[in-house]
């Protein structure tokens, strides 16, 4: 039996799985850097802070983009037909959007650090971001399972 790609018909499920794998890879990389940034001590040198924060902010933005293109774009464009996926997406999208706004806020504050940022401020902001990311990951996992 010929596969969808052998017949020239796009394999939407296969490409969807590939995008989800990319999302999960970006998520893993983001979480690793999140932990490294959270472990920065007040005595670390400024260059280490800046370099690590910039790398983290970049992967954070990449992760947000991967989530958009692998999960939400299909739904927003009206290309998702499975009713259970649509109902779930409608239920959770507002909270996912709120986590995106928190990530953008963090990125805007720390991506191009121009002023000295205290370790206390960074850790407080990481706590806010961490809570938003934990919620987002839980919601994304529910959506991924529904799409699976």
What pLDDT does 1 receive?
43
Residues 6-48 pLDDT 10s: 544 444 556 678 888 999 999 999 999 999 999 877 666 677 7
Domain 12-147 architecture: Up-down Bundle (1.20)
Helices (DSSP H) in 39-118: which residue ranges? 46-67, 73-76, 83-110
Identify the sign of the CA torsion 69, 75, 80, 84: positive
Question: What would the mean pLDDT of 63-90 be, rounded to a whole number?
Answer: 87
Position with higher pLDDT, 102 vs 47: 102
Q: Select from 40, 15, 1 the least CA-distant residue to 125.
A: 40
């Amino acid at each position: 039996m010929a596969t969808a790609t052998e017949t020239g018909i796009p394999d939407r499920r296969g490409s969807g799985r590939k995008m989800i794998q990319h999302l999960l890879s970006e998520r893993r990389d983001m979480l690793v850097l999140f932990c490294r940034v959270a472990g920065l001590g007040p005595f670390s040198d400024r260059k280490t802070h800046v370099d690590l924060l910039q790398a983290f902010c970049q992967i954070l933005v990449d992760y947000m983009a991967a989530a958009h293109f692998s999960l939400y774009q299909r739904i927003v464009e009206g290309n998702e037909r499975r009713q259970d996926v649509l109902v779930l997406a409608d239920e959770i999208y507002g909270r996912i959007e709120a986590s995106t706004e928190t990530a953008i806020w963090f990125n805007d504050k720390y991506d191009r650090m121009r002023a000295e940022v205290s370790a206390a401020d960074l850790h407080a902001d990481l706590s806010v971001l961490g809570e938003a990311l934990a919620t987002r990951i839980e919601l994304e996992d529910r959506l991924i399972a529904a799409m699976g």
